[in-house]
């Protein structure tokens, strides 16, 4: 909720347990701050993330969504990251059709030790969504 | 039986470090007001045995049937706490963790916001805990025999290692004799041993071992089944037979090919490839004219290969020893990152081998059997050096063996962009394929020198041993499960599974459905996400559990 008047987006990051989730941990080890409004959700593989999860997240009030998986050709489950990418594209199209900016969802890749990169991605996403404003389907409280 | 939820929440302040900034007793008080909470405990060191014993006792005494741990990252201690649950008599999958250290206190400097976020994460973990399902363990029998494809030094070594571990192996080789590339090598510098001696000792061990069955001039035609129970058809001459194996090891090596398009010339009597030079060095008596000056060119292409560099250094020493010629090695960059390779390089220098580093490929011309080389050394920019030699040795590209495509389709495994076998994950599982029970060793999947390749042979033997040694494997039964009543057998999951862990089964004479093979499943959940009928249930990561973590969006700000 934004109590101070300024818009603080709610961002959900689906993080692969083999790469992006340890990367988020690594940001913690290195004490690199990133915005508190990033909700990290651990998934066994980026390929587990369904279009349904992305759409539901918007329904529940998310303003932006990150799907973070392993680097290409380094996926623990071979093709999970590629599948995630195509699902994110599909979600983009569906969102655009329903009047939600497709830029609110993005798929990026990380390695386990890229804590600083995780923090950077989180902060950049935060800035971008701040620019876009609240999601048009965000439930009013 | 009482099926009601009895949740136990265990908070850990990580040796009092987190309690300096947050009031754990306030969190405890808030949590105790939530539904179904049986017990909330604050600990300072849940990662220590003593605290775990107390936790185990609490779970047992209070009849807790869902456990929430709010502490460090599940990457660190999820397994630890699953073991605690197991010991306390609760199914280990009924654990939910909230990462309040790495992803809260350590990363968010604003203490109040961090505390609020931690509270939300704990509540979400509690909500997720309500939706958890137990996953039972089961034991399934596995066949203990191993099939090794490729009778080169790596395959042979793996067979010997497995025979020491008392596992039976069938070693199949497409050529008439074992040994592979080692038969062609003239030397094994920096090792003080000849390839013939190595092969003789290995072959002796193979023939003496009752556990190794060697099939030469044989090829693999078909493999069906899954880890622990592969059915392989092998063809040898006109006969064809079927054998059962628990695991398959691929050690099919590499091929070498001269890439003339890279150099702009073809080989001739005065320009030979490294393999041709090895032949000359093996039988120096047959050479009409001993070359006085020998030049080597390596890494003209950017695809730098460790095998080629090693081979150039090895044979430069061989030329020095057998022919006594002057030797010059033209290279872009030497990669001497292996046991003994730095020494090999120094040995070359000490024996008088000259190294020249180029940036632009040298210009080569041939005249009356003399090779003229024009090259610019990186240390003397702008100066063209002219060299001549009567034998020029060019490196070869390391390419996948000709049968890798066939074996790929037989075994349903992946190839990397260069056409070598694709490791499951090069950093985490360097000898594992994408399929459980199929392993790679040696140069068929990576660019390795001999010592590294032999290490891999031992590594892969242990991987196979770990899978098969007991004759049975404990698996997590039906963690991912396809509901046969919902499955329309559209094949989507079978095509999508990266580990080939889904097979078709006949329910009755009309209906066929897809079924997960528990031993082969590696739990990625891709099938669960792709199934159009939503017939696949992943107990550890169900849709409900993932969606539960989306609740309370916006709650912490």
Note down the domain range covering A90: 11-132
Considering only the beta carbons, identify the residue of B102, B538, B556 that sits closest to A25.
B102
pTM of the model: 0.84
Domains B146-254+400-472 and B277-393 equal at CATH topology level: yes
Give the model's pLDDT for residue B2.
61
Residue A41: inside a domain: yes
As a whole number of angstroms, the distance between CA B127 and CA B551 comes to 9
As a whole number of angstroms, the distance between CA B411 and CA A138 comes to 49
Q: Which residues of B touch A3 (CB under 8 A)?
A: 557
Q: What angle do CA B252, B445, B211 make, to 5 degrees?
A: 45
Name the residue of chain B whose CA is nearest to A111's CA: B427
pLDDT tens column, A22-75: 999 999 999 999 999 999 999 999 999 999 999 999 999 999 999 999 998 888
Give the torsion sign (CA, B298, B300, B301, B304).
positive
Residue A39: inside a domain: yes
Task: Compute the average pLDDT of residues A98-121.
Answer: 95
As a whole number of angstroms, the distance between CA A79 and CA B142 comes to 28
Q: What is the dihedral of CA B386, B389, B391, B392, to 10 degrees?
A: -10
As a whole number of angstroms, the distance between CA B43 and CA B62 comes to 17
CA distance A12 to chain B (A): 8
Fold of the domain spanning B146-254+400-472 = FAD/NAD(P)-binding domain (3.50.50)
Considering only the beta carbons, identify the residue of A31, A47, A56 that sits closest to B524.
A47
User: For the residues of B369-408, what is the DSSP string, one character each?
Assistant: TEEEEEEEBTTSTTPEEEEEESEEEE--EEE--TTHHHHH
Give the model's pLDDT for residue B3.
75
Alpha carbon of A129 to those of A37, A65, A101: distances in Å? 11, 10, 10
- Residue A128 — φ and ψ, nearest 5°? -60, -45
Considering only the beta carbons, identify the residue of B75, B538, B553 that sits closest to A39.
B553
B 111-140 residues with CB below 8 A of A?
113-114, 116-117
Residue A89: inside a domain: yes
Name the residue of chain A whose CA is nearest to B101's CA: A28
User: Is the Cβ pair B553, A60 closer than 8 Å?
Assistant: yes
User: For the residues of B492-526, what is the DSSP string, one character each?
Assistant: HHHHH-TT--EEEEESSSS-EEEEE-TTT-----H
Give the model's pLDDT for residue B173.
96
User: Is the Cβ pair A33, B109 closer than 8 Å?
Assistant: yes
Q: Could you tell me if A45 and B526 are in contact, meaning their C-beta atoms sit under 8 angstroms apart? A: yes
CB distance from B538 to chain A under 8 Å?
Answer: yes
CB distance from B265 to chain A under 8 Å?
Answer: no
User: For the residues of chain A, what is the DSSP string, one character each?
Assistant: --SSSS----EEEEEETTTHHHHHHHHHHTT----TTEEEEEES-GGG--HHHHHHHHHTT-SEEEEEEEPTT--TTTTHHHHHHHHHHHHHHHHHHTT--GGGEEEEEE-TT-HHHHHHHHHHHHHHHHHH-S-TTPPP-
CB distance from B208 to chain A under 8 Å?
Answer: no
User: Is the Cβ pair B529, A22 closer than 8 Å?
Assistant: no
CB distance from B408 to chain A under 8 Å?
Answer: no
Q: Which residues of A touch B107 (CB under 8 A)?
A: 24, 27-28, 31-34, 119
The pair of three-digit structure tokens given for residue B545, joined into one six-digit string: 């559990």
Give the model's pLDDT for residue B557.
41
Give the model's pLDDT for residue B542.
95
As a whole number of angstroms, the distance between CA B307 and CA B320 comes to 20
Would you call B543 helix, strand, or coil by DSSP?
Answer: helix
First to last CA, chain B: 42
User: Is the Cβ pair A12, B530 closer than 8 Å?
Assistant: no
As a whole number of angstroms, the distance between CA B217 and CA A40 comes to 55
ipTM of the complex: 0.94
Q: Could you tell me if A45 and A74 are in contact, meaning their C-beta atoms sit under 8 angstroms apart? A: no
User: Is the Cβ pair A1, B554 closer than 8 Å?
Assistant: yes
CB pairs under 8 A between A and B: 144
Q: Does the domain made of B277-393 have the CATH classification 3.30.43.10?
A: no
Chosen CATH of B478-538 out of 3.40.50.720, 3.30.70.20, 1.20.210.10, 1.10.10.10: 3.30.70.20
User: Is the Cβ pair B102, A39 closer than 8 Å?
Assistant: no
B7-135 — its CATH code? 3.40.50
CB distance from B494 to chain A under 8 Å?
Answer: no
As a whole number of angstroms, the distance between CA A87 and CA A71 comes to 16
Give the model's pLDDT for residue A72.
87
CA distance A120 to chain B (A): 13
Helix B111-130 and helix B24-32, axial crossing angle in degrees, nearest 10: 30
Name the residue of chain A whose CA is nearest to B551's CA: A60
Q: Which residues of B touch A141 (CB under 8 A)?
A: 554
First to last CA, chain A: 8
CB distance from B466 to chain A under 8 Å?
Answer: no
Mutate to test the interface with B, among A2, A18, A32, A44 (most CBs of B within 10 A): A44
Residues contacting residue B186 through CB under 8 Å, at least 6 positions apart: B195, B277, B278, B279, B281, B282, B315, B318
Which residues are B248's β-sheet partners?
B147, B438
Q: Could you tell me if B186 and B321 are in contact, meaning their C-beta atoms sit under 8 angstroms apart? A: no
Q: Which residues of B touch A27 (CB under 8 A)?
A: 102, 107
Give the model's pLDDT for residue A74.
83
Give the model's pLDDT for residue A1.
46
CB half-sphere exposure, B44, CA atoms < 13 A: 5
Give the model's pLDDT for residue B30.
92
CB distance from B532 to chain A under 8 Å?
Answer: no
Q: Could you read off the pLDDT tens digit of each residue along chain B, which spans 557 residues?
A: 467 899 999 999 999 888 887 889 999 999 999 989 999 999 999 999 999 999 999 999 999 999 999 999 999 999 999 999 999 999 999 999 999 999 999 999 988 889 889 999 999 999 999 999 999 999 999 999 999 999 999 999 999 999 999 999 999 999 999 999 999 999 998 888 999 999 999 999 999 999 999 999 999 999 999 999 999 999 998 999 999 999 999 999 999 988 888 888 888 889 999 999 999 999 888 888 899 999 999 877 766 678 888 899 999 999 999 999 999 999 988 878 888 889 999 999 999 999 999 988 889 998 888 999 999 998 888 889 999 999 999 998 899 999 999 999 999 898 888 889 987 776 677 899 989 999 999 999 988 889 999 999 999 999 999 999 999 999 999 999 999 999 999 999 999 999 999 999 998 888 999 999 999 999 999 999 999 999 999 999 999 999 999 987 766 54
CB distance from B499 to chain A under 8 Å?
Answer: yes
User: Is the Cβ pair B107, A87 closer than 8 Å?
Assistant: no
User: Is the Cβ pair A44, B99 closer than 8 Å?
Assistant: no
Give the model's pLDDT for residue A2.
47
Considering only the beta carbons, identify the residue of A28, A33, A62 that sits closest to B553.
A62
Mutate to test the interface with A, among B14, B107, B416, B428 (most CBs of A within 10 A): B107
Considering only the beta carbons, identify the residue of A24, A61, A74 that sits closest to B103.
A24
Name the residue of chain B whose CA is nearest to A78's CA: B498
DSSP class of residue B423 equals P
Residue A47: inside a domain: yes
- Residue B454 — φ and ψ, nearest 5°? -70, -35
Q: B336-351 burial, b if ≥16 CB within 10 A, otherwise e?
A: bebebbeebbebbeee
CATH of the domain at A106: 3.40.50
B 28-87 residues with CB below 8 A of A?
73-76
Which residues are B425's β-sheet partners?
B429
Show me where the domains of chain B are located: 7-135, 146-254+400-472, 277-393, 478-538
Name the residue of chain A whose CA is nearest to B499's CA: A77
Considering only the beta carbons, identify the residue of A22, A56, A78 that sits closest to B547.
A56
Q: What is the dihedral of CA A98, A100, A102, A108, to 10 degrees?
A: -120
Q: What angle do CA B182, B184, B190 make, to 5 degrees?
A: 60
Total domains in the fold of chain A: 1
CA distance B212 to chain A (A): 33
Q: Could you tell me if B554 and A106 are in contact, meaning their C-beta atoms sit under 8 angstroms apart? A: no
**Cis status of the peptide bond prior to B9, with omega within 30 of 0:** no
């Amino acid at each position: 909720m934004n109590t101070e008047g300024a818009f603080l987006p709610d961002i959900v990051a689906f993080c692969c347990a083999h790469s992006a989730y340890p990367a988020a941990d690594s940001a913690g080890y290195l004490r690199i701050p990133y915005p508190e409004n990033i909700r990290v959700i651990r998934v066994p593989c980026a390929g587990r993330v369904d279009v349904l999860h992305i759409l539901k997240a918007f329904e529940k009030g998310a303003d932006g969504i990150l799907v973070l998986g392993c680097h290409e050709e380094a996926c623990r489950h071979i093709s999970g990251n590629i599948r995630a990418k195509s699902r994110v594209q599909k979600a983009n199209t569906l969102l655009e059709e329903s009047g939600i900016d497709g830029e609110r969802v993005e798929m990026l890749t990380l390695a386990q030790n890229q804590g600083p990169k995780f923090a950077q991605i989180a902060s950049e996403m935060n800035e971008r969504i701040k620019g876009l404003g609240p999601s048009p389907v965000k439930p009013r409280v | 039986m009482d099926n009601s939820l009895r949740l136990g929440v265990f908070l850990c302040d990580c040796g009092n470090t987190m309690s300096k900034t947050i009031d754990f007793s306030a969190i405890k008080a808030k949590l105790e007001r939530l539904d179904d909470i049986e017990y909330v405990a604050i600990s300072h060191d849940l990662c220590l045995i003593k605290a775990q014993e107390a936790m185990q006792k609490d779970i047992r005494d209070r009849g807790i049937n869902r456990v929430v741990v709010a502490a460090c990252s599940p990457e660190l201690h999820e397994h630890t706490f699953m073991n605690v649950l197991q010991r306390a008599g609760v199914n280990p999958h009924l654990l939910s963790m909230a990462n309040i250290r790495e992803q809260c206190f350590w990363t968010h400097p604003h203490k109040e916001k961090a505390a609020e976020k931690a509270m939300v994460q704990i509540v979400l973990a509690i909500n997720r805990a309500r939706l958890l399902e137990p996953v039972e363990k089961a034991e399934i029998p596995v066949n203990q025999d191993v099939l090794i494809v490729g009778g080169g030094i790596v395959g042979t070594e793996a067979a010997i290692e497995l025979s020491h571990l008392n596992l039976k192996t069938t070693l199949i080789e497409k050529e008439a004799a074992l040994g592979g590339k080692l038969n062609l090598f003239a030397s094994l510098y920096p090792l003080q041993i000849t390839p013939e001696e190595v092969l003789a000792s290995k072959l002796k061990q193979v023939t003496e071992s009752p556990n190794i069955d060697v099939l030469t001039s044989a090829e693999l035609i078909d493999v069906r089944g899954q880890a622990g129970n592969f059915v392989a058809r092998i063809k040898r001459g006109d006969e064809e037979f079927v054998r059962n194996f628990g695991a398959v090891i691929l050690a099919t090596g590499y091929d070498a090919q001269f890439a003339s398009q890279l150099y702009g010339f073809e080989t001739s009597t005065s320009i030979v490839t490294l393999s041709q030079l090895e032949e000359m060095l093996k039988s120096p008596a047959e050479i009409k004219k001993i070359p006085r000056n020998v030049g080597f060119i390596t890494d003209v292409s950017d695809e730098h290969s460790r095998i080629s560099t090693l081979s150039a250094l090895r044979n430069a020493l061989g030329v020095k020893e057998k022919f006594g010629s002057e030797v010059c090695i033209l290279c872009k960059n030497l990669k001497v990152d292996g046991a003994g390779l730095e020494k090999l390089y120094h040995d070359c220098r000490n024996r008088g081998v000259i190294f020249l580093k180029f940036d632009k490929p040298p210009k080569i011309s041939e005249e009356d059997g003399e090779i003229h080389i024009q090259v610019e050394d990186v240390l003397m920019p702008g100066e063209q050096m002219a060299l001549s030699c009567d034998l020029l040795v060019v490196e070869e590209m390391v390419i996948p063996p000709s049968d890798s495509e066939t074996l790929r389709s037989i075994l349903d495994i992946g190839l990397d962009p260069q056409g070598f076998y694709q490791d499951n994950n090069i950093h985490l599982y360097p000898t594992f394929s994408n399929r459980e029970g199929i392993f790679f060793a040696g140069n068929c999947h990576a660019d390795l020198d001999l010592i590294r390749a032999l290490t891999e042979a031992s590594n892969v033997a242990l991987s196979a041993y770990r899978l098969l040694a007991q004759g049975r494997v404990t698996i997590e039964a039906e963690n991912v499960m396809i509901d046969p009543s919902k499955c329309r057998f559209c094949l989507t999951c079978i095509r999508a599974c990266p580990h080939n862990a889904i097979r078709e089964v006949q329910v009755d004479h009309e209906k066929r459905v897809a079924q997960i093979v528990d031993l082969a499943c590696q739990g990625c959940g891709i099938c669960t996400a792709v199934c159009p009928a939503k017939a696949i249930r992943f107990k550890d990561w169900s849709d409900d559990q993932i969606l539960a973590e989306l609740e309370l969006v916006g709650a912490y700000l």
